[in-house]
Structure 1
Amino acid sequence: MKFKTEALTRLVEADDPVESVWSALWGIWSPASSSVSEHYDRESQMVQYERLLLDVYQEFYSGVLPDRCVNDASLDIPEDGAFVVMDAMSVREAGLFVEFLTSEGYDPSVSYSFSTVPSETTPYRDRVGYSDIKREYKTGTVKSDDPSLDGDEDIVWCRFPDALLENIQEGKTKLSSIEEMYEKTERTFARIIEQLDAEQIVVGSDHGYVRLDAGNTFPVTEPQKNRLQKAFSGRFVSVAEANADDLVDEGLVVESDGYYMPIGRYTWPARGKYSTFTHGGLSLPECITPRISFTQ
């Protein structure tokens, strides 16, 4: 109850509701727990807050958040520094990264930015003009946990944790757990930092992800489930390919920038193999992304 009261008080008093929401998210995930496993157990509090926000301030999802994602997504390379994109890094991992950097003697500061809509890599790259950025700045790509960088890269795009999250499947043999995913991501991140010669480093993300495993979803009725299944095959669909206006009217879906996206943790059963760690919709951990800055 105290958590709800404090969160609502901050939201009412805030000049910018996003500032209040980010403060609540960062308060959930920082400081990090003593173990990675305990840290990720905080997801239930994240679900509680997101459900509360939807219940008391639905306009945050229908107006505020999609507007910021469309207009404020960015990739800003620091002067005389480097920008490291950790693909799909969410506020969860940011809390752990800050703990790691502090233990290594750095003094990181944390802020936030946004994915775009849909909250996926390709739309984000298009939104920030990544093809033009690559022509102007030296870029490195990391696809394994043993990166080899020249050291003078302006941008480093690391495929972790996204590539590892994709391997965690519901109802199948798990190739890794979320704890193992993070530990491998942290090792890769540490090696990237060791190899970069940049004095100023900013760590960001193209999007986060939502957990849709047991206990981390918003319930829907049987008729709603059927309509969601009919409209969506994933976390978003073009308005040219579906009509989900009835779901928008019902507050389950948002239409923005030519796409329909489910709000928050609404989900529905899907046939066959599917990942419980996914993105493309409009939820807090997918769309409000962390920015970590520190000096070497």
Structure 2
Amino acid sequence: MTLPLALITTLQQAPAEEAWAALFEYAWERCSQPITPGKAAADIAKRDGSLADVDHYLATADWELWAAYEASVPRTAQVLADWWQAHPPGRAVLILDACSLRELPWILQQAEARGFTVQQAQPTGAELPPNTTPFANALGFAQRSALGNNGGNNGADQGHVFPGARTESADLPWTDAAALIGAEPDWVFWHHWPDHRLHDHDAPGKGLQTLTEEVEAHLSSDAFWAFLERLASGRRLVITADHGYAASGQFPDSGKAEGELLKARYKSGRAVASTEPPGDWSPPIDLALDSAHGRHLYVNGRRKWKSQGGYPTLTHGGLTLLELVVPFVELRKVP
């Protein structure tokens, strides 16, 4: 698959903010379409592959755009803060850890079928690096666990962007999570699914296909939507994520010399805090970027290498669209 000429022209000629908007729109268009019944794994694999050309273009021809990412995209944390401030009490936020654009179609399709209306749906951007703690920090929390058991109101994290909200961070079955939702007007629930399952789908013979099967089962289940209905009862509900993930098991292998540097620097990861310069390759195999969360080195694009125990099949932290672009969906329950 090749990139549309209009997109290439925008990337080459438009200001960084317009270029990033075009990239987000392109990813959204390809990932938001309804899933073909009985063909979820094939559809998701195809969509993932359709963005490989964009990632390749960014990694080899337009990597300078990454330096402008933070200042150019609608960052999820800021969009959430603005949304919270714009509405009166009667608000709920569900953060699904590592929910990428791949999961978006089930949310949109099931919402309509289950009596919800979509108030808005748009792509937003993760923090740099696209990991859990930077997102928590951007929201005003020291870490994800700070939200647990209403920790957002224990005095230690009162500087967060959700003043007045009851907070929770948990990895519970949906039915048990729903039982935690009380009558408080404002709620923020950070659920650890699907992030905590990425490693479980990292074994040989597993990966994106088996994760997709699990995602379809969860996001189409009565239990999940009963949980959402509890959150949305008397409240506006936003569903979003801290970051996405990469189907890294499908990435091409790096050459020997490149792989040795990447293995030594990143082990089996995708980003590392460092003041060292990036590798001396052109196009670059990694990039040094400064962000609100400090200076990090990042793996540039879709690449993997041999590492002890095998390179992860599913991971996050690097510079590809599906690691960084996440859904931001506001729902209301139809009375």
Q: State the partner residue of 1:191.
A: 226
Match of 1:17 among 10, 16, 19: 19
C-alpha RMSD over aligned residues: 2.8
Once the two structures are superposed, the pairs formed by residues 26-175 of structure 1 within 5 Å of their partners are 26-35=28-37, 36-41=40-45, 42-61=47-66, 63-68=67-72, 73-74=77-78, 75-76=80-81, 77=84, 78-79=87-88, 80-108=90-118, 109-130=120-141, 131-132=157-158, 133=160, 136-145=164-173, 146=175, 147=177, 148-151=179-182, 152=184, 153-171=186-204
8 Å Cα contact 2:167/2:187 also seen in 1: yes
Q: CA deviation at 1:271?
A: 1.4
Quote the Cα distance in structure 1 between the aligned partners of 2:253 and 2:10.
Answer: 27
* Count, aligned residues: 290
Quote the Cα distance in structure 2 between the aligned partners of 1:93 and 1:27.
Answer: 13
Aligned partner letter, 1:295: R
State, as a whole percentage, how many aligned pairs show the same letter.
20
Quote the Cα distance in structure 1 between the aligned partners of 2:283 and 2:56.
Answer: 16
- Structure 2, gaps ≥5 residues long: 142-156
Aligned partner letter, 1:121: T
SS at match of 2:129: coil
- Structure 1, gaps ≥5 residues long: none
Q: CA deviation at 1:23?
A: 0.8
Q: CA deviation at 1:278?
A: 0.6
8 Å Cα contact 2:125/2:324 also seen in 1: yes
SS at match of 1:107: strand
8 Å Cα contact 1:247/1:253 also seen in 2: no
Structure 1 residues 68, 88: CA separation in 2 closer, same or farther (over 3 Å shift)? Answer: farther
Q: CA deviation at 1:158?
A: 1.1
Q: Which moved more, 1:160-169 or 1:84-93?
A: 160-169
8 Å Cα contact 2:106/2:216 also seen in 1: no
8 Å Cα contact 1:248/1:254 also seen in 2: no
Aligned partner letter, 1:150: I
TM-score by length of 2: 0.77
1:222 aligns with 2:252: no
8 Å Cα contact 2:41/2:213 also seen in 1: no
